Amino acid sequence: MNGSTIAFVGGGNMAGSLAGGLLARGWSAADIRVSDPQEDSRARLAALGVHTTADNTEAVAGAAIVVLAVKPQIMRAACLGIREAVAASKPLVISIAAGTSTESMAAWLGESTAIVRCMPNTPAMLQCGASVLYATPQVGIEQRRIAHEVLESVGYAAWVDREELLHAVTALSGSGPAYVFLMLEAMQRAGENLGLEPGLARRLASQTALGAARMAQEGEVDVVELRRRVTSPGGTTERAIRVFEQTGFREMVEAAMGAACDRSRELAADAAPG
């Protein structure tokens, strides 16, 4: 249990996941507040026992931690709306909004604000997310520890020391679940075309991804060696991998992630202070 009061501005999917993760880690519901204009979002969070309100300033007032969990296009208005409350209580501000720079947030919230910018991903909903955090120089050691604890409540959390790297993180783990879903969709369709019943093809594809991901994470062996071990000379896997290589699979992944990274930079430029 932490004992710090945490306020979520925006009570959608990510706020719900984080609040659920914190409660599972032993945080008290009495220490968690959420503000959201939507009555149904508030009701969903109130069912967890946390305090909910439609008023962002009320949620933020006196909180030690403020999590900005609104869509990027709402960030400017949301930050300006809580500027005075933030100046009064000087909380640690954690933003999970994609593409909104700490420079923009500092301009909207006040230059002395301690800000951690974070890029989580959707498996956070199952407490199996991957989040990468970046802290501005105003963030103290204890605040860094708290930010880590908050994001770790929904999965793996790591830090980068250059904000620019969050574009690469967005291209890898932020958008990454969709790449895996695309691969699963393609494997499922190919399995069906080879005669498997759709339900079986779907389950085999996802179970295979789950098992392979666990092997990649839990052992000492890297993915190149893991692939080599499944690829017997002259066998079926070798034939399939050759087709992947010949059709430019690696180049395709490189190009797709490069495009995602470029788009992340464009979105950050669009969200610049003004």
Interface residues toward ligand NAP, by CB under 6 A: 9-15, 35-38, 41, 56, 69-72, 74, 77-78, 96-98, 119-122, 174
Nearest to 114 by CA among 85, 144, 88: 144
Q: Closest distance between ligand NAP and the C-beta of residue 139, in Å?
A: 19
Residue among 119 and 133 whose Cβ is closer to ligand NAP: 119
Residue, CB closest to ligand NAP = 12
Residue among 107 and 226 whose Cβ is closer to ligand NAP: 107
Residue among 80 and 186 whose Cβ is closer to ligand NAP: 80
Listed in sequence order, the residues at least 6 apart from 182 whose beta carbon sits closer than 8 Å to its beta carbon are none
Q: Closest distance between ligand NAP and the C-beta of residue 232, in Å?
A: 38
Q: Closest distance between ligand NAP and the C-beta of residue 223, in Å?
A: 24
Residue among 5 and 10 whose Cβ is closer to ligand NAP: 10
Q: Closest distance between ligand NAP and the C-beta of residue 157, in Å?
A: 13
Residue among 83 and 189 whose Cβ is closer to ligand NAP: 83
Nearest to 179 by CA among 111, 123, 228, 99: 123
Residue among 213 and 240 whose Cβ is closer to ligand NAP: 213
Residue among 14 and 201 whose Cβ is closer to ligand NAP: 14
> Which three-class secondary structure string do you get for the chain?
CCCCCEEEECCCHHHHHHHHHHHHCCCCHHHEEEECCCHHHHHHHHCCCCEEECCHHHHHCCCCEEEECCCHHHHHHHHHHHHHHHHHHCCEEEECCCCCCHHHHHHHHCCCCEEEEEECCHHHHHCCEEEEEEECCCCCHHHHHHHHHHHHCCEEEEECCCCCHHHHHHHHHHCHHHHHHHHHHHHHHHHHHCCCCHHHHHHHHHHHHHHHHHHHHHCCCCHHHHHHHHCCCCCHHHHHHHHHHHCCHHHHHHHHHHHHHHHHHHHHHHCCCC
Q: Closest distance between ligand NAP and the C-beta of residue 84, in Å?
A: 15
Q: Closest distance between ligand NAP and the C-beta of residue 35, in Å?
A: 5
Residue among 15 and 65 whose Cβ is closer to ligand NAP: 15
Q: Closest distance between ligand NAP and the C-beta of residue 152, in Å?
A: 16
Q: Closest distance between ligand NAP and the C-beta of residue 3, in Å?
A: 25
Angstrom distances, CA of residue 210 to CA of 18, 171, 178, 179, 222: 23, 21, 15, 14, 16
